[in-house]
A and B are shown apart, each in its own frame.
Chain A
Amino acid sequence: MLQEESDLALIIAQIVQKLKGSNLYAQLERQAWASLQRPEIKLESLKEDIKEFFKISGWEKKLQNAVYSELNVFPLPSHPAAPPEHLKEPLVYMRKAQGSWEKRILKSLNSMCTELSIPLARKRPVGEQKELLNKWNEMGTDEPDLSLFRPVYAPKDFLEVLINLRNPNYENGDSHSFRTHLGLIQVPLKVKDIPELKEFFVELGLTAGQLGIDDSTQVPPELFENEHVRIGQKVLSEQDSAAAQQYIRQGSPTALRAELWALILNISSQPEVLLCFSRDTSVLGHFAYNSASPPKSYIRGKLGLEEYAVFYPPNGVIPFHGFSMYVAPLCFLYHEPSKLYQIFREMYVRFFFRLHSISSHPSGIVSLCLLFETLLQTYLPQLFYHLREIGAQPLRISFKWMVRAFSGYLATDQLLLLWDRILGYNSLEILAVLAAAVFAFRAVNLMEVTSLAAAEAVLADLSTLKVMPLLQIFLFATVT
Chain B
Amino acid sequence: MRNYTIGGPDAQEEATGKQSDIRIMAGKVKWVTDIEKSVLINNFEKRGWVQVTENEDWNFYWMSVQTIRNVFSVETGYRLSDDQIVNHFPNHYELTRKDLMVKNIKRYRKELEKEGSPLAEKDESGKYLYLDFVPVTYMLPADYNLFVEEFRKSPSSTWIMKPCGKAQGKGIFLINKLSQIKKWSRDSKTSSFMTQSTKEAYVISLYINNPLLIGGRKFDLRLYVLVSTYRPLRCYMYKLGFCRFCTVKYTPSTSELDNMFVHLTNVAIQKHGEDYNHIHGGKWTVHNLRLYLESTRGKEVTSRLFDEIHWIIVQSLKAVAPVMNNDKHCFECYGYDIIIDDKLKPWLIEVNASPSLTSSTANDRILKYNLINDTLNIAVPNGEIPDCKWNKSPPKEVLGNYEILYDEELAQGDGADRELRSRPGQSLGPRGGRSRDSGRTVLTTWK
Among A216, A255, A413, which residue has the most Cβ atoms of chain B within 10 A? A255
A: interface residue count bin: 20 to 34
> A221 — which chain B residues lie within 8 A by C-beta?
434
Tell whether A257 is near chain B: CB-to-CB under 8 Å.
Answer: yes
Chain B residue at minimum C-beta to C-beta distance from A259: B295
Tell whether B35 is near chain A: CB-to-CB under 8 Å.
Answer: no
The 0/1 profile, CB within 8 Å of A marked 1, for residues 416-437 of chain B is 0000000000000000001011
Measured CB to CB, the closest approach of chain B to A449, in angstroms, equals: 22
User: Known contacts A140-B216, A140-B249, A413-B287; is A217 also within 8 Å of B437 by CB?
Assistant: yes
Docked Cα-Cα span, A334 to B297, in Å, equals 10
> A334 — which chain B residues lie within 8 A by C-beta?
296
Q: Across the interface, do B216 and A332 meet the contact criterion of CB distance under 8 Å? A: no
Chain A residue at minimum C-beta to C-beta distance from B301: A255
Chain A residue at minimum C-beta to C-beta distance from B288: A412
Among A253, A254, A416, which residue has the most Cβ atoms of chain B within 10 A? A254
> A216 — which chain B residues lie within 8 A by C-beta?
436
Docked Cα-Cα span, A333 to B298, in Å, equals 11
Q: How many A-B residue pairs have CB under 8 A?
A: 40
List 6 tightest A-B contacts by C-beta distance, closest first.
Answer: A254-B294, A255-B299, A333-B295, A255-B298, A217-B434, A332-B292
Measured CB to CB, the closest approach of chain B to A332, in angstroms, equals: 5
Across the interface, B295 reaches (CB within 8 A) one of A215, A217, A258, A411, namely: A258
> A416 — which chain B residues lie within 8 A by C-beta?
291
Tell whether A30 is near chain B: CB-to-CB under 8 Å.
Answer: no
Q: Across the interface, do B291 and A412 meet the contact criterion of CB distance under 8 Å? A: yes
> B216 — which chain A residues lie within 8 A by C-beta?
140
Tell whether A189 is near chain B: CB-to-CB under 8 Å.
Answer: no
> B215 — which chain A residues lie within 8 A by C-beta?
331
> B298 — which chain A residues lie within 8 A by C-beta?
255
> B434 — which chain A residues lie within 8 A by C-beta?
217, 221
Q: Across the interface, do A413 and B291 meet the contact criterion of CB distance under 8 Å? A: yes
> B214 — which chain A residues lie within 8 A by C-beta?
335
Q: Across the interface, do B294 and A255 meet the contact criterion of CB distance under 8 Å? A: yes
> B296 — which chain A residues lie within 8 A by C-beta?
258, 332-335
Within 8 A of B (CB), among A409-466: 411-413, 416
Docked Cα-Cα span, A449 to B287, in Å, equals 33
Measured CB to CB, the closest approach of chain A to B83, in angstroms, equals: 37
Docked Cα-Cα span, A140 to B249, in Å, equals 9
> A332 — which chain B residues lie within 8 A by C-beta?
288, 291-292, 295-296
Within 8 A of A (CB), among B42-86: none
Measured CB to CB, the closest approach of chain B to A385, in angstroms, equals: 34
Docked Cα-Cα span, A334 to B215, in Å, equals 11
Docked Cα-Cα span, A254 to B296, in Å, equals 9
Tell whether A270 is near chain B: CB-to-CB under 8 Å.
Answer: no
Measured CB to CB, the closest approach of chain B to A328, in angstroms, equals: 11
Tell whether A117 is near chain B: CB-to-CB under 8 Å.
Answer: no
Q: Across the interface, do A141 and B299 meet the contact criterion of CB distance under 8 Å? A: no
User: Known contacts A140-B216, A254-B294; is A217 also within 8 Å of B436 by CB?
Assistant: yes
The 0/1 profile, CB within 8 Å of B marked 1, for residues 331-360 of chain A is 111110000000000000000000000000
Measured CB to CB, the closest approach of chain A to B214, in angstroms, equals: 8
Docked Cα-Cα span, A331 to B296, in Å, equals 10
Chain B residues in contact with chain A, CB under 8 A? 214-216, 248-249, 287-288, 291-292, 294-296, 298-299, 434, 436-437
Chain B residue at minimum C-beta to C-beta distance from A413: B291
Within 8 A of B (CB), among A206-234: 215-217, 221
> A217 — which chain B residues lie within 8 A by C-beta?
434, 436-437
Chain A residues in contact with chain B, CB under 8 A? 140-141, 215-217, 221, 253-255, 257-258, 331-335, 411-413, 416
Docked Cα-Cα span, A221 to B437, in Å, equals 14
Docked Cα-Cα span, A253 to B216, in Å, equals 26
| 15 A-B contact pairs sorted by A residue (CB < 8 Å) | A215-B436, A217-B437, A254-B294, A254-B295, A255-B294, A255-B299, A331-B215, A332-B292, A332-B295, A332-B296, A333-B296, A335-B214, A412-B288, A413-B288, A413-B291
> B292 — which chain A residues lie within 8 A by C-beta?
332
Measured CB to CB, the closest approach of chain A to B216, in angstroms, equals: 7
Docked Cα-Cα span, A258 to B293, in Å, equals 12
Docked Cα-Cα span, A411 to B363, in Å, equals 13
Q: Across the interface, do B436 and A254 meet the contact criterion of CB distance under 8 Å? A: no
Chain A residue at minimum C-beta to C-beta distance from B302: A255
User: Known contacts A217-B436, A332-B291; is A254 also within 8 Å of B299 by CB?
Assistant: yes
Measured CB to CB, the closest approach of chain B to A48, in angstroms, equals: 41
Docked Cα-Cα span, A257 to B215, in Å, equals 20
Chain B residue at minimum C-beta to C-beta distance from A333: B295
Docked Cα-Cα span, A330 to B214, in Å, equals 14
Docked Cα-Cα span, A257 to B296, in Å, equals 9
Q: Across the interface, do A257 and B436 meet the contact criterion of CB distance under 8 Å? A: no
Docked Cα-Cα span, A265 to B157, in Å, equals 45
Q: Across the interface, do A141 and B249 meet the contact criterion of CB distance under 8 Å? A: yes
Chain B residue at minimum C-beta to C-beta distance from A141: B249
> A331 — which chain B residues lie within 8 A by C-beta?
215
Measured CB to CB, the closest approach of chain A to B343, in angstroms, equals: 16
Chain B residue at minimum C-beta to C-beta distance from A334: B296
Q: Across the interface, do B437 and A257 meet the contact criterion of CB distance under 8 Å? A: no
Docked Cα-Cα span, A225 to B266, in Å, equals 39
Docked Cα-Cα span, A253 to B299, in Å, equals 9
Q: Across the interface, do B295 and A255 meet the contact criterion of CB distance under 8 Å? A: yes
Docked Cα-Cα span, A249 to B214, in Å, equals 30
Across the interface, A254 reaches (CB within 8 A) one of B248, B249, B291, namely: B291
> B294 — which chain A residues lie within 8 A by C-beta?
254-255
Docked Cα-Cα span, A221 to B296, in Å, equals 22
Measured CB to CB, the closest approach of chain B to A418, in angstroms, equals: 14
Docked Cα-Cα span, A70 to B62, in Å, equals 65
5 other A-B residue contacts (CB within 8 Å) besides A254-B299, A257-B295 = A332-B288, A332-B291, A412-B288, A412-B291, A413-B291
Docked Cα-Cα span, A333 to B214, in Å, equals 12
Docked Cα-Cα span, A50 to B177, in Å, equals 66
Chain A residue at minimum C-beta to C-beta distance from B438: A217
Docked Cα-Cα span, A281 to B295, in Å, equals 30
Measured CB to CB, the closest approach of chain B to A342, in angstroms, equals: 16
Docked Cα-Cα span, A172 to B249, in Å, equals 59
> A412 — which chain B residues lie within 8 A by C-beta?
288, 291
Chain B residue at minimum C-beta to C-beta distance from A336: B296
> A258 — which chain B residues lie within 8 A by C-beta?
295-296
Measured CB to CB, the closest approach of chain B to A227, in angstroms, equals: 16
Docked Cα-Cα span, A253 to B288, in Å, equals 15
Chain A residue at minimum C-beta to C-beta distance from B298: A255
Chain A residue at minimum C-beta to C-beta distance from B296: A335
